[in-house]
Amino acid sequence: MIVFPAFIILLSLTFANQNIITLLVSKNRQDWLVDIIGLFFQGIIIPILQITIVFQFYHYLFPSLKSTLTLHPLIVFSLSFICVDYLYYWNHRLFHTPWLWSVHKVHHTVTTMDVVGTSRNTLWTSFLIIYLWVHSLFIYLLQDPTWYIFGASLTSALDLWRHSKFTPKPTSIIYHLLAPWLILPQDHAWHHARNYKGGNYGANFKIWDKMHGTYSDNEKQPENLGAVSNLSLSQKLFFPFI
């Protein structure tokens, strides 16, 4: 899995950058606690639940289908990295509807883009995100899920990068190579901009936002991030709608 090396690298780069450290120091204890608990829950607890409870749930529903799906590795990777990404686009848009915004708003309380805040969420939010259910299902069905797991891990690694401040400069070769198709940190920063009406919902690809008219193109960084919130620690972790 490449997500853990990616996290270590991004975290190391974060703490090696004095400007970012200055921003992190200004983060209050409550936010630090929510971020660290979120990282542990999403990085450790959720994967354990996937390979135990959710996996067994699918075994109970489809006992004869385990490891029966044989596909070319390229198709398997595309299912994980492209097709599931489109499903996530709609999943993410649902979180921005009035019915689910109070739950998702916790994630939008981050006031600076940093890798530590990637998993800031109400703890049970992961159960409403398709990754837990769709990834587990395909891993259960596929005869060889190696390339599927690689695609899911790559998505997770890119998610960490999207939430970081390591944005490619608009004049760089990397920017011109990636900007036409990949959601970059500056794209996702606008998704987190204060008073932003919504957009840039995609995880990996911009094409979904462009197809559905929700893409916002801006090379600059937004000045203010984070939804204004007076939620307590317990509300952020468990009951944001109270």
CA distance 136 to 118: 22
Write the single-letter amino acid at 12: S
Cβ burial of 239 (10 Å; 0-12, 13-18, 19+) is middle
> Other CB atoms closer than 10 Å to residue 152's CB: what's the count?
24
CA distance 73 to 146: 8
- Give residue 27's pLDDT: 84
Q: How many CA atoms lie within 13 A of 211 on its CB side?
A: 10
The 10 Å CB-count burial string (b at 16+, else e) for 198-223 is: ebbbbbbbbbbbeeeebbeeeeeebe
Domain ranges (residues) in the chain: 3-237
Task: Report, as ranges of residue numbers, the positions in the chain whose pLDDT lies below 50.
Answer: none
- Give residue 195's pLDDT: 78
- Give residue 237's pLDDT: 94
Residue with tokens 């109270």: 242
- Name residue 107's beta-bridge partners: none
- Give residue 224's pLDDT: 87
pTM of the model: 0.93
- Give residue 73's pLDDT: 98
- The per-residue pLDDT for range 5-52, each reduced to its tens digit, is 999 999 898 888 877 777 677 788 999 999 999 999 999 999 999 989
- Give residue 65's pLDDT: 98
Q: Is 77 helix (H, G, I), strand (E, B) or coil?
A: helix
CA distance 26 to 29: 9
- Give residue 115's pLDDT: 92
Nearest Cα residue to 23 out of 101, 195, 31, 99: 31
